[in-house]
C-alpha cells in the first residue's frame, strides 16, 4: 500500500490503471476464492478517476487513489451491505459507516465488499450465506473468520488492504490463517457507527493489510472519536506511521503461559519461538507471564457475545428492511418465518443462547457472572502490562483446517478462540503477523498491547517485518 501510494504520486501509474488491474484480478479470482460478495466496478472506476484528478491537482492524501475492499459488515451508501446473511441479501445501506466515510474522504477507492461469516459469527467463513471463502494458500482450507474474505483478498493481493472487524478474533485469526497482517485496535479507538453490530461491547473495526506499515497507514485514517458512537474514545490519534522505526532495545515481551499450553501444535509453537528469537536479536527481553483467568474467557465470551447479539439482531424482524417472508398470515408468522428464513444456523444458535442467558432467573448465573469474569480478565491483562510492554504468543493453535472439518462441532471451533478473545474481553489492541509456514500454510504471531498502545504495537510488528520476509510471501497462484 505504501508502495502503491508512492507509485501513484510519482505518476508511475494512475489510480484508474491500478483499480482496473485489481478489479480484473478480483474478477478472475472470484470462481476460485469467493472472497467478495459485491464487486463495485463502476463506483471504483469513478472514484479512481476522481482520485487521479486530485493527484494531478496536488489535493491528495497519502491514501488518495489507493484501492481497498470493505468487509461487508460496514454500511456503504447506495451499495448492498449484506453482512453475509440472507436477511440482508438485498439491503442497500442508505449511509456510509464512519470508517467508510473517513477512507472515502481520504481518497481511498473501494473495489468491493468482502465475504464474511454471517453477522461476523464464525471463525472459518463457512457461515456465509454467499458460500465459503477459500484459503488462497490451499484450496479446500478455510481462510478463517469472520473476516475471511478480507484476509483472502489481501493474501491473494487483490487489494493492498481490507477493512475488517474483530469481536473475538475475527481480524487476527483469518490474518494468521492467510499469512497477512491483521490489527484489532483498542475498543473505542475506531468508530462502530455503521458497522452492523454483533456484540456491541466487543466489536471493534480494524484492518487487514500485507504489512504493519500499511496497517498503520489505514489505522491513522480510520481511528478517532466519533460523536455518533458514544463508546468511541475522545483521545488524540498518534501518527502510527512516524513511530514505526523506533528501536526495540529494552522492550519487555511477556510470553503468555496459557498460550503455550497443551493444544498448541508443536510446529506452530516452533515458528513462534523462532519469531521470538528475532526479537531477542533486536534487543528485547522475554519473560513468562500468566493470565490465570484466561481459561474462563471462552465461557464468558460465549455468554456475553450471544446475549448482546440476541438483542442486536432483534431489529431484523421483516418489518422495515431485510428479508420478509412471503404472505405472512399474521404478525407472529411474519416474525417467525422472516427470521427463520433470513438467519443461518450459527446465528440462530447464538440468538437462542443469548436469549436464554438473559432470561429471568438465569441472568445472574450467566450474564452477570460472565461480566465479573470479564473484569477479572481485564485485571489480569492490566497486571501483566505492569510488568511487560507487550504480550506475545500464537494467534491460533493450528494452521488453517479443512473446509467442513469442524462444521458439526461448534464447541471445538469455539475453544480455538481462547487465543484471541481475551483481548476483546479486556478491550486491548492486538495484532497477528505472519511468522512462517507449516505444511505450506501460514502461521500467525500474535502481539497484544495495553489499551491505546497501537503505536508501540505497530512499531514492534514493523521491526520484525524489517528482519523477515514472511509478510511478502504470496501464494503462487496469485504472485
170 is an active site residue: yes
The candidate with the shortest Cα–Cα distance to 268, out of 445, 12, 37, 36, is 445
Among 23, 44, 83, 109, binds another protein (CB under 8 A): 83
Which residue, 193 or 301, has its beta carbon nearer to another protein?
193
DSSP annotation of 58: T
Among 249, 266, 360, 411, binds another protein (CB under 8 A): 360
The 3-state DSSP class for residue 226 equals: coil
Which residue, 73 or 455, has its beta carbon nearer to another protein?
73
Query: How would you write 4-36 as a 3-class SS string?
Result: HHHHHHCCCCCHHHHHHHHHHHHHHHHHHHCCE
Catalytic residue among 150, 170, 191, 338: 170
Question: 429 and 422 in contact (C-beta within 8 Å)?
Answer: no
Contacts with 205 (C-beta within 8 Å, 6 or more apart), sequence order = 74, 97, 99, 163, 164, 165, 185, 190, 191, 192, 195, 222
Binding letters toward another protein, positions 294-333, x by CB under 8 A:
-------------xx-xx-xxxxx-xxxx--------x--
78 binds another protein (CB under 8 A): no
Which residue, 74 or 137, has its beta carbon nearer to another protein?
74
110 binds another protein (CB under 8 A): no
Which residue, 9 or 80, has its beta carbon nearer to another protein?
80
Please report where in the chains the cell 534487543 appears, as a residue: 283
Which residue, 316 or 470, has its beta carbon nearer to another protein?
316
Among 25, 53, 89, 95, binds another protein (CB under 8 A): 95
281 binds another protein (CB under 8 A): no
DSSP annotation of 402: B
Least gap, CB of 195 to another protein (angstroms): 6
All cell numbers assigned to 258? 496459557
Question: 417 and 425 in contact (C-beta within 8 Å)?
Answer: no
The 3-state DSSP class for residue 200 equals: coil
Please report where in the chains the cell 494468521 appears, as a residue: 176
406 is an active site residue: no
Cα-Cα-Cα-Cα dihedral sign, residues 461, 69, 79, 86: negative
Among 124, 127, 163, 201, binds another protein (CB under 8 A): 201
Give the DSSP H/E element, type plus range, for residue 333.
helix 331-342
Catalytic residue among 85, 141, 146, 297: 146
| Catalytic annotation, residues | 71, 146, 170
Interface with another protein (CB under 8 A): 74-75, 81, 83, 88, 91, 93-95, 97, 192-197, 199-201, 227-231, 307-308, 310-311, 313-317, 319-322, 331, 335, 355, 358-360, 363, 367
Amino acid at each position: 500500500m505504501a508502495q502503491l501510494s508512492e507509485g501513484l504520486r510519482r505518476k508511475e501509474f494512475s489510480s484508474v490503471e491500478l483499480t482496473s488491474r485489481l478489479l480484473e484480478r478480483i474478477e478472475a479470482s472470484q470462481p476460485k476464492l469467493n472472497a467478495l460478495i459485491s464487486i463495485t466496478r463502476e463506483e471504483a472506476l469513478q472514484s479512481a478517476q476522481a482520485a487521479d484528478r486530485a493527484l494531478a491537482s496536488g489535493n491528495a492524501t497519502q491514501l488518495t487513489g489507493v484501492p481497498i475492499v470493505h468487509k461487508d459488515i460496514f454500511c456503504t451508501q447506495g451499495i448492498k451491505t449484506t453482512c453475509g446473511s440472507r436477511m440482508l441479501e438485498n439491503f442497500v445501506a442508505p449511509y456510509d459507516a464512519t470508517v467508510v466515510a473517513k477512507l472515502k474522504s481520504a481518497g481511498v477507492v473501494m473495489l468491493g465488499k468482502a465475504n464474511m461469516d454471517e453477522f461476523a459469527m464464525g471463525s472459518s467463513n463457512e457461515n456465509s450465506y454467499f458460500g465459503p471463502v477459500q484459503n488462497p494458500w490451499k484450496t479446500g482450507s478455510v481462510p478463517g473468520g469472520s473476516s475471511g474474505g478480507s484476509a483472502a483478498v489481501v493474501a491473494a493481493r487483490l487489494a493492498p488492504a481490507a477493512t475488517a472487524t474483530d469481536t473475538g478474533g475475527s481480524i487476527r485469526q483469518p490474518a494468521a490463517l492467510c499469512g497477512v497482517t491483521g490489527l484489532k485496535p483498542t475498543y473505542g479507538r475506531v468508530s462502530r457507527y455503521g458497522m452492523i453490530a454483533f456484540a456491541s461491547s466487543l466489536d471493534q473495526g480494524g484492518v487487514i493489510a500485507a504489512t504493519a506499515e500499511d496497517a498503520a497507514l489505514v489505522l491513522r485514517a480510520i481511528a478517532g472519536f466519533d460523536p455518533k458512537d458514544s463508546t468511541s474514545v475522545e483521545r488524540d490519534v498518534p501518527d502510527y506511521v512516524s513511530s514505526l522505526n523506533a528501536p526495540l532495545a529494552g522492550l519487555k515481551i511477556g510470553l503468555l503461559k496459557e498460550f503455550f499450553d497443551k493444544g498448541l501444535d508443536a510446529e506452530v509453537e516452533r515458528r513462534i519461538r523462532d519469531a521470538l528469537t528475532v526479537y531477542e536479536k533486536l534487543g528485547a527481553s522475554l519473560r513468562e507471564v500468566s493470565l490465570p483467568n484466561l481459561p474462563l474467557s471462552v465461557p464468558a465470551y460465549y455468554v456475553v457475545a450471544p446475549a448482546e447479539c440476541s438483542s442486536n439482531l432483534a431489529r431484523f424482524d421483516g418489518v422495515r428492511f431485510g428479508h420478509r417472508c412471503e404472505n405472512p398470515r399474521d404478525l407472529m408468522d411474519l416474525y417467525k418465518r422472516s427470521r427463520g428464513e433470513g438467519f443461518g444456523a450459527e446465528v440462530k444458535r447464538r440468538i437462542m443462547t443469548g436469549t436464554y442467558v438473559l432470561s429471568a432467573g438465569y441472568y445472574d448465573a450467566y450474564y452477570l457472572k460472565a461480566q465479573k469474569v470479564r473484569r477479572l480478565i481485564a485485571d489480569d491483562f492490566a497486571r501483566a502490562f505492569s510488568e511487560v510492554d507487550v504480550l506475545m504468543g500464537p494467534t491460533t493453535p493450528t494452521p488453517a483446517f479443512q473446509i467442513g472439518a469442524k462444521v458439526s462441532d461448534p464447541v471445538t471451533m469455539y475453544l480455538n478462540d481462547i487465543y484471541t478473545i481475551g483481548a476483546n474481553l479486556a478491550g486491548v489492541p492486538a495484532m497477528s503477523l505472519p511468522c512462517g509456514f507449516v505444511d505450506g500454510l501460514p502461521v500467525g504471531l500474535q502481539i497484544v498491547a495495553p489499551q491505546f498502545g497501537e503505536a508501540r504495537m505497530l512499531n514492534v510488528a514493523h521491526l520484525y517485518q524489517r528482519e523477515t520476509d514472511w509478510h511478502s510471501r504470496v501464494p503462487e497462484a496469485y504472485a
